[in-house]
């Protein structure tokens, strides 16, 4: 158990809908990262937050947005869902921001768009 929690574990929804994925980092971690794992694209970095502020952006679609709240939990919002958004979404956290920091991953949220 990494100490990172994600809810829900599974989510099934329809095209065009909007969903919110939630992540609670390890106790004391200030930095949160979101990754998407799909069969065709592999594991891709989406976005990073540090202490409430966006710090880095990767291959995140405009239909997707995220935020980190004062209690440091983070939410990833996916809207106008398409079939291709079906994937495993991981949240990871690290103590501080910095390339030397090890990222610890949560169990993931499996999203299925029908």
Residues found near other proteins in the complex (CB under 8 A): 2, 31, 33, 35, 42-45, 48, 55-56, 58, 88, 90, 92, 97-105, 107-108, 110
Residue 14 CB, shortest distance to other proteins, in Å, is 23
Q: Name the DSSP class of 9.
A: S
Record the tokens describing residue 101, joined without a space.
């920091």
Q: CB under 8 Å to 83, separation ≥6 — which residues?
A: 15, 113, 114
| Pairwise CA distance, residues 46 & 82, whole Å | 17
Q: CB under 8 Å to 1, separation ≥6 — which residues?
A: none
If the CB atoms of residues 20 and 38 are measured against other proteins, the closer one turns out to be 38
Residue 31 CB, shortest distance to other proteins, in Å, is 8
If the CB atoms of residues 7 and 80 are measured against other proteins, the closer one turns out to be 7
Residue 10 CB, shortest distance to other proteins, in Å, is 11
């Amino acid at each position: 158990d990494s100490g990172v929690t994600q809810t829900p574990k599974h989510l099934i929804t329809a095209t065009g809908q909007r969903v919110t994925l939630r992540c609670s980092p390890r106790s004391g971690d200030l930095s949160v990262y979101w990754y998407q794992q799909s069969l065709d694209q592999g594991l891709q970095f989406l976005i990073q937050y540090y202490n409430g502020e966006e710090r880095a952006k990767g291959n995140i679609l405009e239909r997707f947005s995220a935020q980190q709240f004062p209690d440091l939990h983070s939410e990833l919002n996916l809207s106008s869902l398409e079939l291709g958004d079906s994937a495993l979404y991981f949240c990871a956290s690290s103590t501080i921001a910095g390339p030397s920091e090890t990222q610890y991953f949560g169990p993931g949220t499996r999203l299925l768009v029908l």
